[in-house]
Structure 1
């Protein structure tokens, strides 16, 4: 959108025209409308403050109310991404649940200029999920767009119950509708050929070069989603308020950046088109679906359920459940080569070999609240099996920033026993073990300075002689200083996950960076992640007000910090600020500013507290640059 306000006049006939053009018997029951780049102001990007959605919300509702009685069911905004779901008033009484979620895929997973907002709606007995996204831009960033997709899938979740103990993922819905500026481009054909094909209406030729279609065919992204045929012209990039594709010096290749995809067993695509609105350099698209909604007859369901329960009660009085676990003799599930932030899943199959329904659940051990360690997840954790039925139980190990410190320092091991309990039957004890590969990420700074060799292969120095800063930190900064200081938007663009995993492996094993051609943005995000995963922040939050009082006076700041934080925290903080100052000396090439770098590093170097605002953290960090 580019941040324009809504038009002053309401096109009250738009919905009637749409109904006629699409051949619809009636107006849609639900409208899900997504905006991108609705708010491009610096304070929205840096601090997450935005109020640009409210005027559009009111404007759209006024337009809809001119033709039918609609109500705003819910809206969700994340900086420039804005998702609204409207529903006919007559249907709202059948809405059981409404929730929102979001996923940021910008640097550190906190910058909301890229990512997604999502809405979950339970209508009668069917679940809907609407997603509005804005993925990484630029022709060459296909891998980052794929990574954004997988990050959104992983990070969007909703509550499965009122307590929030169980969650529902994005993919756990009957109907999923994914819209937005996906930013996939047309590649492998010249700009002139693309424009000629558009002018002659030969769009089928261009579809073969569409990046999104290629990623789906290769199984790299959106493999479980469908899309209607691309029978409309590419939607990007136009000159503003013009019918002409980009005539600027860059002359970007036209592309289908704006898309609507869906995943549903019953949804039927009725129409898929673009609209000739010239409010930005994109043309909006829309898709119309006919969807079957499940509905349960409550009285009939209760009658059938009661009949079944009576039959089950009779059988259970005669027989006890009998379950067999398909596992080795030791009831052992072993995970080999477990890495930080890399999930591993193994399965155990439970078979109901008895003649009655077997209800199962995993239960906590004596005097414990959880039935498993925090690095272990078991799914399903509760359920039942009819005679002859089998259930696959997934045991997933994931070492995150909360569980890694104790494992890295040898204070904990990947060892647990989970109890598989059969109601009115016996308990099965499943042993879970794993071989964890230590990492420098999520280790205390002081602990890392005791290692002169890599943490995974070396031994901790028991003497008093320590490094002034962790060698891993020096290696990352040194590499960036040699290869990345002139890289445009360094620290503001996401890295590639696979490269960041390789960087972490090099740091943990001592392997040279020079053997790999790492993208500077991957190295930069690895540095950010290093600080983000520290058990304790470099600067505790209670010092921020004191530092603000003497902002700009480096000598006074050092006097405050020196006695208040560990020496290694002091050394690391000023080492990083000196490096950032060097980056700013080349701002004419890397386009960085003190405010941009301050925004990124304030989040990871300065601690959080309820009494400290993001504005205070930004001001504090910027004062050192």
Structure 2
């Protein structure tokens, strides 16, 4: 049985789940109050959604003694109502001919039913009964040590019984509960009309046999909810056997153990009765305890009891199939009554010669009745119907009325019993116990105070013994037969039910076991919940309570800027105007998009609000905002509010009618994210959560339409993109069969060409102003890494850079990215930044991991050989390796060519403008490469070129190469690797 949860899920609102109310003292109080009010209001209107129903319940018990073939009789007596002997149970003798006792006993076998042939139904059965509860004992031989100590229950036995019982059930009846414990088996079937009303079925078992826990004795129990209003419990038990005092004490102990150890699952289904805690015996509304309880006739000689009952069983005619046969003394009595018409026949209980008189004289010796009277067992509200039938134990197998003729000659006893208890009876018992305990305490206190102990016996105030109060010396049948009228019971949920015991009897003509089957029929009237009516009432109440509650809660209204901005001219998609959130429209790399929110306090109390954790998957980063979004309020946060970066956990308090504005800025500048956006594995769809303290959460959907970018792709993919740019492929699935269109990615062609052109123009402008101009020094004078470093970027440059990426994506002219009049120097700064970012974003790099592994291996080999190789030879082995990847090789050489041209332009610009002037040239700083002056040429122009090449090589090496296992290298090894990469580029740049 699963462990019970600590708290009922229907009563808990977890503040960690977005959308739930925060876990504060005030909110929890409101939630608890609301829940109780809702439940109370729903209960007050229960008449609107319940309708009276009536169901007949048949409870049957049979100890089958582990015999074979007994299951063939179960359908006839339990479902069909056959196998009765009316003359022995105080019922009218049937007039129809049926098989005689003699013939029935003569043909008894283990392969055919033993009930009389031509028998008719004497008790309600078939479709008349709505709930069948059958308890079987000893379905296996529990006297066998193998069975009693078996660590598991053999399901084949239960399957055999279920097959037999199920075959006898009317069409549509379904098994709703079953539980087996070694030899105990409980089966509960319900009709098609009752089945939809059955909820929260829970079964369990308690072993009380060997060592107090083994399953050869104990109980199997089922709890179910009927009509969402009524708890029913069925207990099938087999208590300790034996006729001595020790056995009686063990039976009492068994019953107490079953009562204390039985636990059912919490009612967690949507029945309206959920309480979130495991339930035990005593929590139900109606309970039925049945089985072989093994209580005997105490102090009675077995021979005497057998003799008394045999007088009545001998009256059974050996051939009662003929209606004209003489029916012994019973028929004679009936005939005599006809002759004396004016005589009033004596009731059986007043006739000294009747079976009922014999039963009444023996019942005061019944152990169960005695233990109930003395308050030792089954005294807490359990009742039993009037016993007007022969004992169910013990008979010779195959005989109708022959008591145990074995060597033991056991005394006939009512071992098999069916008890029932109502909630009202249990409450009356508990109230009586409490009253007795309080009276005892008062008496003890009075004794301690010296009160009530006078010489006058009339003043004795505490002469009371609750253990003997109400004890009787005789069994009073009439006391137990007061159930002729139905008993009204208020259920645990406050509904009014009625129960009536209609009959309680034994099937004498079932002869396949040494126990006779026992059954009791009940009629239960209950209020059943009609689900659709309850739902309507629940919604109505909840709506009204929500309205009342919300009036006292903080409430805000959020107005979203519906502007979607200008769509990219390359994407003519129309934004869905019905989107209830923030739509940023088309989103390009590095281009900022802004939207605004207006938050107004529309409630009657101050509202404290702020962004909180988003409902994201475990694989996504937590936080109030995704990494591509920033949020800014137009006011300062509350003084006691946390103020980490990104406004996460910041709180802002708005007074009633107060308003604040919030700006949301979206910018995608993370290359890893770009790769996911391009491939469709990431998106710009998010949900922000605005939490209002003690109010409800507001969910703010955010979306953006990502525009495909040339960044974060591979060289092999880029050479296949047609003219018109990657944006032309927006919304199209990639075609793996796309042909190669360029030897080098078009973006590298365009960027390198534009950078060369802008370098030339920048140097020309500087040259036109003159080298002696005070307005501006030479661009490379203080930074040999120029034009790939040394620029200061401002917001205008950032905007132009984003436009450069956009025109690359669309394969448009760079003039579209720069405002008119932009100086070549500014354009050059933007273009070189774009080239470095582009190269850095390549998934495979210009020099791939596999290429670099081979190149590095050659470098290491040359270093170890300590031989000097000619530059041309080194270039040749490098080009041989690069030739394995033609597109990467061509891209590498194109970039080398660009760097060479830029270096040549810088050297040319550094020459004196006048042939006659020979001023000394000051070398620029080398921020990217560590250079010793003595290693440079004495020729100033050549020294500048060497210095420029070293810095350019260091910068480009960081973005062009991809190396494996870089993260595992030591810092020294990393520096060595970077130096090798730069040396390779420099090797090609120094080619004059």
With the length of structure 2 as denominator, give the TM-score of the two structures: 0.30
* Structure ranking higher on relative contact order (CA contacts 8 Å, 6+ apart): 2
Structure 1 or 2: more strand by fraction = 1
Structure of higher CA gyration radius:
2
